[in-house]
Chain A
Amino acid sequence: MKKRGRKKGISPVIATTLLIAIVVIIALILFLWFRNILGDYGEKFGKNVELVCEDVVLGASCSGNWIYISNDGNVPVFKVNLKLEEQGKYSLVELNDVLVSENAWPETGLTQGQVYSGQLDLSGYNNPEITVIPILMGVSSEGGKKSYPCEERHGYTIY
Chain B
Amino acid sequence: MIKKIKNKKAISPMIGYILLISIVVVLSLIVYTWLKTYVPQDSLECPDSTSMFIRSYEYAPNNQLNITIKNNGNFNIGGYFIRAATQSPDQGLAATDLSAGLVDSFGGTNLRGGLVIFELQEGGNTNSFSPNQEVTHVFDISGIDAIFFIELTPIRYQEHESIKRTVTCGSAKIKEEIN
Q: Is the interface of B mostly helix, strand, loop or mixed?
A: loop
Contact call B93/A60, Cβ cutoff below 8 A: yes
Q: Which of A54-74 contact B (CB under 8 A)?
A: 54-55, 57, 59-64, 66, 68-74
Contact call B168/A113, Cβ cutoff below 8 A: yes
Q: Which of B26-34, B57-65, B125-133, B138-146 contacts A (4 or more CB under 8 A)?
A: B26-34
Contact call A48/B38, Cβ cutoff below 8 A: yes
Partner of A115, one of B27, B45, B95, B165: B95
| Number of residue pairs A-B, CB distance < 8 angstroms | 102
Which A residues are in CB contact (< 8 Å) with B25? none
The docked-state distance in angstroms from the alpha carbon of A31 to that of B92 is 48
Given contacts A4-B2, A12-B11, A63-B87, contact A74 B93 (CB under 8 A): no
Chain A interface residue count, CB cutoff 8 Å, equals: 41
Q: How far is the CB of B90 from chain A (nearest CB, A)?
A: 5
Partner of A72, one of B30, B37, B170: B170
Contact call B91/A68, Cβ cutoff below 8 A: yes
Contact call B91/A63, Cβ cutoff below 8 A: yes
Task: Provide the A14-45 mask, 1 if CB < 8 A to any CB of B, else 0.
Answer: 00100010011001000100010000000100
Which B residues are in CB contact (< 8 Å) with A73? 168, 170
Which B residues are in CB contact (< 8 Å) with A64? 88
The docked-state distance in angstroms from the alpha carbon of A139 to that of B83 is 32
Across the interface, name the chain A residue whose C-beta is closest to B38.
A48
Which A residues are in CB contact (< 8 Å) with B1? 3
Contact call B37/A116, Cβ cutoff below 8 A: no
Contact call B114/A63, Cβ cutoff below 8 A: no
The docked-state distance in angstroms from the alpha carbon of A51 to that of B81 is 26
Partner of B93, one of A13, A48, A70: A70
Across the interface, name the chain B residue whose C-beta is closest to A57.
B170
Contact call A72/B168, Cβ cutoff below 8 A: yes
A interface residue numbers (CB < 8 A to B): 3-5, 12-13, 16, 20, 23-24, 27, 31, 35, 43, 46-48, 51, 54-55, 57, 59-64, 66, 68-74, 111-117
